Structure 1
């Protein structure tokens, strides 16, 4: 860039570089999605189409940014967990957040018509999202963060399922349903659903109760020649580095190993799961996520 007398304004710019060797989580949240869902007549308590748009948009973000190890989504939010050693954008907070949020928003808008085939977006109310970045010092704190989001998903879904049963099947107004549920425990809501509406909450779809987990399955590669060799090599790397189930045991990889690992992650299939990530066995099966 050519020098000019106006270049002094650059001194007002400030960058926030996120702490090295920490896990970065960028969370994307819908802005004004209560009104947005009413405007586009989302099904209550859950709309499979709306979740489909969210999940595919998140998958597109994840495929574009291989440093994302895992994504977790529920309702109108998605959390993206970046590798502890990522150097993407030199770990500049503004760049990381703006890239994830803008890419997610663009994908959501682009994919809308695929799921809402009869409800085009109105330019007076377009979907928008905001975002934030938080750093976590250990794999255990990352797991606790994700557990918090999944527990929140369960609590909200149980409440919403009971609330809308009272409104849609029980004939109560919104205010009456809120009053009926005030101070109730999970067991009370389960009892209302089962005894009054014949709904066994345990049989509700897992995606509604547990949200959506997106992970790179390093055992599923592109199918090209040499994949078996890469799977074998991957097992060696995971064994060398140590488990990712909350511990911090880790070995330094050579530059060549890092490049190969990055290549494998780019090629790995991104799979969608709806299961309990609080339990140890989720992480025991996938030790490479939180290396």
Structure 2
């Protein structure tokens, strides 16, 4: 293409290439979802339809982008993780974030009527999401990030479950419920739920307590006892090693193998080693063996 006198404006563009050989986390959040949930009468403290809608949109994102290793979602938030070896869009932050946000939003809107058939979307109450990219240098950092989000899910859900039962079943005002819960710990909230409302929090569905983990499913590996004792330093050293040089043809072959795997949603504990040891392909970036057909 011939140059023009206007082409100088390209010099104003700044490089936003993310640090190489690091985990990339693109976290998206719903914009104005408090008003959205009120407008479409989301159930309190959790609306299973809304969570299932978030999950189906996340599944489609993983299907569209085989470079993604795993995703984790809770409420109106989702984190999508790229392996350190990922070279999609030359690791340009803006391209990765906008692709994730736009693809997720498109599927969320497209699937809306399947989960809220009686409440069609109406302007100006339309769902939208913002996003950001953060890089983590080691596997331990990445796992700690995901553990942080899951622990946060439990803390928020316990509070919301207690709060909304006090309001909806206990007849308390929002202000009074907030005042009574101020300064309480987990055991206090569990006691309120059990003594006042007969609710054993341990029996609540895992999707509410643990959030949703989305990944490609291969044959599970047996847990190795010796790997349980790995320290943070061990995990960090594994990920600071130089990445393997993978040709474009090899990268495309890996993408094709990933597309053959089923993308699943599970509500399990990701703070422990077992989850990761049984699914080594998530951290290794290398596809596992497809489950044998029954």
Residue 45 of structure 2 corresponds to residue 45 of structure 1: yes
In structure 1, the gaps of 5 or more residues are: 221-230, 232-244
Instruction: Give the total of aligned pairs.
Output: 268
Corresponding residue number in structure 2 for 1:273? 266
Measured after TM superposition, the shift of residue 137 of structure 1 is: 0.3
Q: CA RMSD in A?
A: 1.8
TM-score, normalised on structure 2? 0.87
Corresponding residue number in structure 1 for 2:277? 284
* Larger RCO, structures 1/2 (Cα 8 Å, 6+ apart): 2
Partner Cα separation in structure 1 for residue 199 and residue 54 of structure 2: 27
Corresponding residue number in structure 2 for 1:117? 117
TM-score, normalised on structure 1? 0.88
Measured after TM superposition, the shift of residue 257 of structure 1 is: 5.8
Residue 160 of structure 2 corresponds to residue 167 of structure 1: no
Partner Cα separation in structure 1 for residue 114 and residue 134 of structure 2: 32
Instruction: From the superposition, tell whether residues 91 and 254 of structure 1 become closer, same or farther in structure 2 (CA, over 3 Å).
Output: closer
Corresponding residue number in structure 1 for 2:16? 16
* 1:12-36: CA deviation from partner (whole Å, max 9, x where unpaired): 1112100110000000100111111
Partner Cα separation in structure 2 for residue 214 and residue 205 of structure 1: 17
Q: Tell me if structure 2 keeps the 8 A contact 1:143–1:246.
A: no
In structure 2, the gaps of 5 or more residues are: 222-233, 285-294
* 1:207-232: CA deviation from partner (whole Å, max 9, x where unpaired): 00000000111239xxxxxxxxxx9x
Measured after TM superposition, the shift of residue 253 of structure 1 is: 6.9
* 1:216-274: CA deviation from partner (whole Å, max 9, x where unpaired): 11239xxxxxxxxxx9xxxxxxxxxxxxx946177847647655433221211111110
Partner Cα separation in structure 2 for residue 19 and residue 43 of structure 1: 41
Paired residues for 1:1-291 under 5 Å: 1-219=1-219, 246=235, 248=238, 252=244, 255=247, 258-291=251-284
